[in-house]
Amino acid sequence: MRLGIDLGGSKIAAVALDADGTEHARHRRPTPRDYDATLAALAETVAALDPAGAGMGTGVGTGVGGVGISLPGVVDGAAGRVRAVNLPWLDGRPFAEDVARALGRPVRIANDAHCFTLSEATDGAAVGAPVVFGVILGTGVGGGIVVDGRILPGANALAGEWGHAPLPWRTDADGPPAACGCGKTGCLETMLCGAGLTRLHHHRTGETLAPPEIAARATAGDPDAAGTLDHHADALARALAPVLNLLDPQVVVIGGGLSALPGLCAAVTRRWGAWTLAAAPRNRLVVARHGGESGMRGAARLWTAPPHAPA
């Protein structure tokens, strides 16, 4: 068995998978708001899924009893540190070392977008693709890269962090550039996230609506809402065009709440050829198969995929 934990800002979700991806158990609990309590909660989670302490990772070579953890932030494997806006009590602490001690097992930790992409490349919507770019569109915008079943972390553990690039080919129709949490202005995250979709609709119509309401109105035939989704899809096509030119992944897989926007994949693929060097790109754009569970499933896969090269 392989054990994967998705450590989020509000919840800890965990799953035990066997080698073919079949789920055998899961556990969920709230995330505590301090460091020591988080370590204790992770230990409790492992104990709940493996009460006998038999080693859920038996049969994975050097990863016997290993646990994979996904979290929202920058995971610097070389330094053994993480930077997580939603989990600020982890910042600057030797988290990898401390959590391994608390669990009494070896631990591998990766960014949630990297785990999402690994999950979808292993047995999800991008299975079999040599190069996969994963996209999370939700309250923020994240990304990850998997090559031949292996996470590509990069020298600074930032590979795939496309959300903090500027939105390409910006026009007045995109609305005024918004401030981003990274300290810059006009990042594509500010346009493509849920709040960005709300801002875009307000810019176009004067109405303030949450993304589900915009989607519902568009589905019901509202031309203003449909126009907002159309412009959002065009912005996503522009944002992905440099990725296609630089990385040229066989598959781009989308997850997060906005992945359910009606007609999103078809609308983007109709447009991205206008912005890429390939006039008719053969890249595929697909919605994640495992959805919100890809974080913990990908964390479990950290012990079955080839280990990534150290940063």
d(Cα 53, Cα 43) in Å, to the nearest integer? 11
d(Cα 244, Cα 156) in Å, to the nearest integer? 22
d(Cα 229, Cα 263) in Å, to the nearest integer? 9
Q: Which residues pair with 12 in a beta bridge?
A: 7, 29
Q: Return the pLDDT at 55.
A: 54
Q: Return the pLDDT at 305.
A: 64
Q: Return the pLDDT at 53.
A: 65
Both structure tokens of 218:
């568009």
Cβ-contact 16, 56 below 8 angstroms:
yes
Q: Return the pLDDT at 279.
A: 87
Q: Return the pLDDT at 98.
A: 94
The CA-atom distances, in angstroms, between 179 and each of 140, 187, 204, 234 are: 13, 8, 19, 21
Q: Does the domain formed by 125-288 have CATH 3.40.50.261? A: no
d(Cα 262, Cα 113) in Å, to the nearest integer? 22
Q: Which of 162, 169, 168, 166 is nearest to 178 (CA)?
A: 166
Q: Return the pLDDT at 1.
A: 80
**2-111 — its CATH code?**
3.30.420.40
Q: What is the DSSP letter of 133?
A: E
- Domain ranges for the chain, please list them: 2-111, 125-288
d(Cα 91, Cα 89) in Å, to the nearest integer? 6
Q: What is the DSSP letter of 285?
A: E
d(Cα 94, Cα 91) in Å, to the nearest integer? 9
Q: Return the pLDDT at 208.
A: 98
Q: Return the pLDDT at 308.
A: 54
Q: Return the pLDDT at 51.
A: 75
* Sequence-ordered list of residues with C-beta below 8 angstroms from that of 29, at least 6 positions apart, any chain: 11, 12, 41, 44, 45
Q: Which residues pair with 137 in a beta bridge?
A: 141
State the alpha helices, DSSP H only, in the chain: 35-49, 95-103, 112-123, 188-192, 194-205, 211-219, 223-246, 264-271, 294-301
pLDDT averaged over 10-residue windows placed end to end, the chain, 311 residues: 92 90 91 96 93 51 68 80 86 91 93 96 96 95 96 91 95 96 93 97 98 98 98 98 97 96 97 94 97 94 67 38
Both structure tokens of 10:
């509000």
Q: Return the pLDDT at 59.
A: 36
